[in-house]
Structures are given as C-alpha cells and as structure tokens.
C-alpha cells in the first residue's frame, strides 16, 4: 500500500486559491478549514476498522433472508443511534430466502477423489442421493453457448474460464455471466448440472459462490463453483481420459420470500436540509465467510465517515444520508426498493456513492455529473490528491446499489477502491476480518469523510448528468496503463 502523505491547512487553502483563479471555488473557506480538520481527525481514527470488527465478530455471515440478516439490521440501527445520527430508521424490503445445506462433489472414476465446490446462490438441489454424470469442459461461456442442442444430454457442463486480475476489477464482467446464466444455457443443451470454475483470481482451495438465476421455461439444474485448483485438476484428468464421472451432492432450501430492511441514518442538513448527499454500502453478505471485505468494509467506511462529521460537531448544509442496503448480493433488491420508495425525492439527491469493493485504499475519483460541473469534480480530486486519489472518468455508475440511480438522472461518484486482491477472497469462506488492512480502510474512510463533507457544502449544480446509454457497460472503460 502506498504511504499516506499529510498536507497542511495552508496547502488546502492554497489549492482552493489556485483553482479559484480559473474557476470560482464551490467551497467557502470555513468549509475548507473544517475539511482540513476532518482529514487530520480521520487519519488518526480507527473507527472504520472498529465498525467492521464489531459487525463481523458480533454478527458474522449475513445471508439475505437469514436470522443473521435480521440481527445485522438490529445491529446497524443500534450502531447508528449510538453514533449520534439525527434520524435513524429502516425500510422493509421483500427478499428471497435461500439456504445452503450440503455441497459436495467427488470424482467417481477413473481417478476417485474429492473435489472442493460450493453451490451457487439460488441453486436447486440434486436428488437426495446425489447425481453422477460425465463432465464436458468448455473454455468459456461462449463455447458452451455454441454447443449443439442435445449435445449435453445427461452430462455435467464444466465452464473453465479464468478470471484476470486488475486493480479496478474489470476481469469480473467477462466471466460472471457464466455464473448467473450458465445453468440455464447448459440445461437448454440437455445438461443435468453445471460446474463453474470459481469467479476469482486466487489459487486457494476455496470455491467462490455468488448468485445465479434460472431462465423462464428452461429446466432448472443444480449449479456449483469449483475451486481454481480443482478446475485445473479436472482439466488434467480430461487430458488423460475422456470419460470423467463426477458425483455431485447439493442440498439447498428455497423458502418463501422474507422481509429484510434497508437501514438508514441521517445527519440533518441546515440551509439545504431537503437535499441529500447519499453514501452507502450493503449490509448483507454471502454465508460462508463473515462478509468482511464484501461488504463489511463498506459499512465501516461510510459509517466511519459520518462518525467523523458527527464527532467534529459539524452541521452540513445538505443532509448526509447513509444507507446500508439489504439484499445486494442476490440482485440489488434493497437498492431497487430504495429507488422506488424515494422516487419523489430523487430529484433532491445531490450526489450518491457506494463503497462496495473491499477496504481500499481509494485511488481515483470517478463521477457522472454535468459537463459544466466537471471543474468542480476536478477541484474535489485536487483536494483528495494528497491522500493518493487521482481524477478519473465521468462514466461512473456510483457502485452496484447506486447504479439504479443514474438512469433516473441522479449524479453519482465512484470512489475507486483498490481491488487488486479483492477477488482472491470475494464470496469465499476466506472473506474474513484479517484481510482488511487497517491503514487502507482508514484512508478510504478519510476520503469518504471529505467527499461527504465537501459535497454537502458545495454551491454548484451537478445536473443534468449524461444519462447512461442502453447497453453501456457498468464498469469504467479499461485504462491503457497503471494497472497491475
């Protein structure tokens, strides 16, 4: 991790002065002085780390619809109240309730041995006694799609697509479609089950779960991810023998929909209290780890950021609203519920940003604001630069949950978290507290603190935003350099 450089009050004012010759500063000197004090305070605070430690220790896994999901809601309400938010409440969200019971697999012949798998979220069960079938390997999802009709009858499809590692996580998009849609495509060719090389960048013997869905009108088949070394093992077996028989035993339960909640806390604004600076993270997690990186870290970052402002006894002009979304992992369900419940005030949402990509540090400020507001974003980036944040693009979606807002005209920011290692742990039993570097999450919290404070007190308009085009990728376009 890069070292954090500290800047003085003189530097902040100097930056404001420098840019004011080209562009009227959107911030008063009192706002900038407070920002400087907040920065020093946040860079000496372990609040974000402490919040994730508490959440992952006291609640642990928070699978949507589970008892722990509801315990997390109560935990969040109590925590927000203790932190001193003015307004703390929850809003109901109807969520799916899927439960993992058993996920086992083994090679039956000709090389009998166990395999490490995990059922994909929403997968149905195999028969109680398991199912045994030959596997057919596909290099990627497109290869499976190209398989002739009926060519997989009675077989297990095995998609073996390796994910690539990038700081911004752009290796995820090309492989994750196979996880969400692979089972139905395989079933349409006659397959009785799907095995997917884990969507991850590690070589650990853990499999990565994640949600999948069944297409209407197509037979549902069980679906599981294999750990990376087990996918390699199967590939080596297939090079030696064409008939590799696998036994798959997956037992899951699909219950009627349950009720979960978006948990919301506000720092009430003063002169523009009806306008909202929205920061968020998601409270739910997968079931096998403790949801530390995904997304306990985000919870720590946004709650910690709000705490800095509350503890400094500052009142922002706009209301700062923190939303901990329900059911992100199973399809942005809490985010859609928030969008619908707050439709009448979306035009009062000044800007929105979500932390949902691990602990950081944050290395770039992306945005989606009007052309005329770009200088303001440049100036915000200049104020964040001493923390190691560079100015990014203007194509942001604001993070997974916030991505439902730009299509309705809400400006967003993307405070890009360094995700180089994120997909080593994402959706695995290994997503635990020890993966969170305290210094990284402290920097991320500091950036969110400054972002929230400055956005809540800026005096420029960010609308109208460039609306996303149909089919536009939700990830920033690849950058030619600087990525590992």
Q: Which residues are catalytic?
A: 328
Alpha-carbon distance 472 to 468, whole Å? 6
Pairing of strands 272-282, 318-325: parallel
418 binds Zn ion per the rule CB under 5 A: no
Question: Shortest gap between Cβ of 427 and Zn ion (angstroms)?
Answer: 9
Stretch that binds Zn ion, among 53-61, 291-299, 342-350, 456-464 (CB under 5 A): 291-299
By CB under 5 A, the count of residues binding Zn ion is 3
- CB within 8 A of 351, min separation 6: which ones? 277, 278, 369, 410, 411, 412, 413, 455, 462
Stretch that binds Zn ion, among 90-98, 168-176, 218-226, 295-303 (CB under 5 A): 295-303
Q: Is 288 exposed, middle or buried (0-12, 13-18, 19+ CB in 10 A)?
A: buried
Alpha-carbon distance 207 to 194, whole Å? 14
Q: What is the 8-class DSSP label of residue 215? A: P
Residue placing its CB nearer to Zn ion in the complex, 266 or 294: 294
Alpha-carbon distance 298 to 69, whole Å? 16
294 binds Zn ion per the rule CB under 5 A: yes
287 binds Zn ion per the rule CB under 5 A: no
Residue placing its CB nearer to Zn ion in the complex, 288 or 356: 356
Residue placing its CB nearer to Zn ion in the complex, 288 or 295: 295
Strand residues in 268-317 grouped as ranges (E): 272-282
55 neighbors 300 (Cβ within 8 angstroms):
yes
Question: Shortest gap between Cβ of 169 and Zn ion (angstroms)?
Answer: 11
- CB within 8 A of 165, min separation 6: which ones? 171, 201, 420, 423, 484
Residue placing its CB nearer to Zn ion in the complex, 211 or 458: 211
Question: Shortest gap between Cβ of 295 and Zn ion (angstroms)?
Answer: 4
Stretch that binds Zn ion, among 192-200, 348-356, 361-369, 445-453 (CB under 5 A): 348-356
**Per-residue binding letters, 65-104, with Zn ion (x by CB under 5 A):** ----------------------------------------
Neighbours of 413 (CB within 10 A): 26
Question: Shortest gap between Cβ of 299 and Zn ion (angstroms)?
Answer: 10
Alpha-carbon distance 428 to 55, whole Å? 17
297 neighbors 76 (Cβ within 8 angstroms):
no
Q: What is the 8-class DSSP label of residue 479? A: P
Residue placing its CB nearer to Zn ion in the complex, 166 or 357: 357
Residue placing its CB nearer to Zn ion in the complex, 160 or 418: 418
Stretch that binds Zn ion, among 20-28, 55-63, 294-302, 382-390 (CB under 5 A): 294-302
DSSP string covering 40-106, please? HHHTT--HHHHHHHHHHHHT----TTSHHHHHHHHHHHHHHHHHT-SEEEEEEEEEEEEEEEEEEEE
419 neighbors 484 (Cβ within 8 angstroms):
no
Question: Shortest gap between Cβ of 108 and Zn ion (angstroms)?
Answer: 36
Kindly tell me which residue out of 202, 230, 249, 295 binds Zn ion, with binding defined by CB under 5 A.
Answer: 295
- CB within 8 A of 436, min separation 6: which ones? 49, 52, 292, 293, 296, 297, 358, 359
- Of residues 434 through 453, those in contact with Zn ion by CB under 5 A are none
**Per-residue binding letters, 148-187, with Zn ion (x by CB under 5 A):** ----------------------------------------
Question: Shortest gap between Cβ of 329 and Zn ion (angstroms)?
Answer: 6
Question: Shortest gap between Cβ of 262 and Zn ion (angstroms)?
Answer: 15
Q: Kindly state the tokens that stand for 263.
A: 């948990």
Cα→Cα distances 97→64, 178, 224, Å: 6, 22, 18
Residue placing its CB nearer to Zn ion in the complex, 206 or 286: 286
Question: Shortest gap between Cβ of 426 and Zn ion (angstroms)?
Answer: 8
Stretch that binds Zn ion, among 8-16, 127-135, 356-364, 450-458 (CB under 5 A): 356-364
Residue placing its CB nearer to Zn ion in the complex, 211 or 457: 211
Please, where are the H alpha helices in 189-249? 228-240
Residue placing its CB nearer to Zn ion in the complex, 287 or 295: 295
Stretch that binds Zn ion, among 163-171, 218-226, 293-301, 389-397 (CB under 5 A): 293-301
356 binds Zn ion per the rule CB under 5 A: yes
Alpha-carbon distance 239 to 438, whole Å? 45
Question: Shortest gap between Cβ of 412 and Zn ion (angstroms)?
Answer: 17
284 binds Zn ion per the rule CB under 5 A: no
Q: Kindly state the tokens that stand for 318.
A: 């706009």
Binding site for Zn ion (CB under 5 A): 294-295, 356
């Amino acid at each position: 991790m890069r070292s954090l450089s500290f800047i003085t009050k003189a530097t902040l004012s100097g930056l404001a002065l420098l840019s004011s010759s080209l562009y009227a500063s959107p911030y008063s000197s009192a706002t900038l002085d407070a920002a400087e004090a907040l920065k020093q305070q946040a860079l000496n605070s372990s609040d974000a780390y402490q919040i994730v430690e508490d959440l992952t220790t006291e609640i642990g896994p928070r699978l949507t619809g589970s008892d722990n999901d509801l315990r997390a809601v109560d935990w969040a309400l109590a925590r927000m109240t203790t932190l001193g938010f003015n307004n703390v409440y929850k809003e109901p969200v109807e969520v799916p309730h899927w439960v993992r019971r058993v996920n086992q697999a083994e090679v039956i012949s000709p090389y009998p041995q166990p395999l490490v798998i995990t059922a994909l979220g929403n997968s149905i069960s195999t028969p109680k006694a398991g199912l045994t079938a030959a596997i057919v390997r596909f290099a990627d999802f497109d290869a499976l799609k190209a398989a002739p009709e009926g060519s997989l009858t009675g077989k297990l499809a095995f998609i073996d697509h390796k994910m690539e590692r990038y700081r911004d996580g752009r290796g995820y998009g090309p492989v994750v479609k196979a996880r969400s849609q692979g089972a139905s495509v395989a079933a349409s060719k006659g397959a009785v089950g799907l095995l997917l090389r884990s969507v991850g960048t590690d070589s650990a013997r853990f499999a990565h779960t994640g949600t999948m869905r069944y297409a209407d009108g197509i037979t549902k088949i069980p679906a599981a991810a294999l750990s990376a070394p087990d996918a390699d093992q199967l590939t080596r077996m297939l090079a030696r023998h064409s008939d590799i028989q696998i036994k798959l035993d997956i037992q899951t339960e699909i219950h009627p929909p349950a009720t979960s909640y978006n948990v919301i806390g506000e720092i009430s604004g003063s002169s523009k209290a009806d306008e909202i600076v929205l920061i968020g993270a998601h409270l739910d997690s997968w079931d096998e780890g403790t949801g530390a990186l995904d997304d306990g870290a985000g919870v720590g970052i946004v709650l910690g950021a709000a705490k800095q402002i509350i503890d400094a006894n500052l009142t922002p002009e706009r209301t700062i609203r923190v939303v901990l979304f329900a059911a992100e992992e199973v399809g942005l369900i809490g985010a859609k519920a928030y969008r619908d419940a707050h439709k009448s005030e979306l035009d009062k949402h000044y800007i929105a940003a979500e932390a949902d990509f691990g602990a950081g540090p944050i290395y770039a400020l992306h945005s989606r604001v009007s052309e005329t507001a770009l200088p303001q974003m440049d100036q915000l980036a200049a104020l964040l630069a001493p923390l190691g944040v560079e100015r990014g693009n203007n194509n942001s979606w604001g993070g997974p949950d916030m991505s439902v807002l730009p299509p309705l005209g809400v400006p967003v920011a993307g405070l890009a978290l360094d995700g180089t290692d994120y997909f080593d742990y994402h959706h695995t039993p290994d997503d635990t507290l020890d993966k969170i570097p305290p210094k990284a999450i402290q920097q991320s919290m500091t950036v969110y603190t400054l972002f929230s404070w400055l956005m809540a007190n800026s005096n420029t308009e960010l609308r109208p935003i460039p609306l996303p085009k149909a089919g536009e990728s939700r990830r920033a376009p690849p950058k030619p350099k600087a990525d590992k």
